[in-house]
Amino acid sequence: MVFTLPIYYTQTFKTKEDKTFLVGMNRWATEHYHLKNSIKQTWQQIILDQIAENNIGPILTPYKVHYKLYWKNPNCDGSNIIALSEKIFLDALQENIVQQDNVKWHMGSSWDNMGQDKLNPRVEITIKET
């Protein structure tokens, strides 16, 4: 099972220009809770849409997750991006794919730096049952 998440988020405003930014743990720590909630809901909906489109059923055994990071700017901090992507991804999976994301079920994660993709920066996420 492979999922794709963006690593940039566009915040929209009624009275000023929209703002697009890289989402990682450093920025997450200082953002207002309304914006955090908006990002989380948007990304979770992306995940749920991919589950529905691909008819992905429940995972009934322990699993591992692997992340592939395709970045736009080489100055980004990959581990910050992956950490937030993992948090939101695993929380979304608990809604209807996995029983838990605790240590009894989630047996570990790994990630690779896949290189630059200026046109489509993203995280590709693979789940493997163990």
24 belongs to a structural domain: no
18 belongs to a structural domain: no
* pLDDT on residue 96: 77
19 belongs to a structural domain: no
86 belongs to a structural domain: yes
What pTM value is reported for the model? 0.91
71 belongs to a structural domain: yes
* pLDDT on residue 97: 87
pLDDT single digits (tens) 41-92: 999 999 999 999 998 888 889 999 999 999 999 999 999 999 999 999 999 9
**DSSP string of the chain, one letter each residue:** -EEEEESEEEE--SSS--EEEE--HHHHHHS-HHHHHHHHHHHHHHHHHHHHHTT---B-S-EEEEEEEEESSTTS-HHHHHHHHHHHHHHHHTTTTBS--STTTEEEEEEEEEEE-SS--EEEEEEEE-
* pLDDT on residue 85: 96
Domain that holds residue 112: 7-12+33-129
pLDDT single digits (tens) 80-129: 999 999 999 999 988 778 888 889 999 999 999 999 999 999 999 999 98
Structurally, the chain folds into a number of domains equal to 1
- The CATH number assigned to the domain holding 78 equals 3.30.1330.70
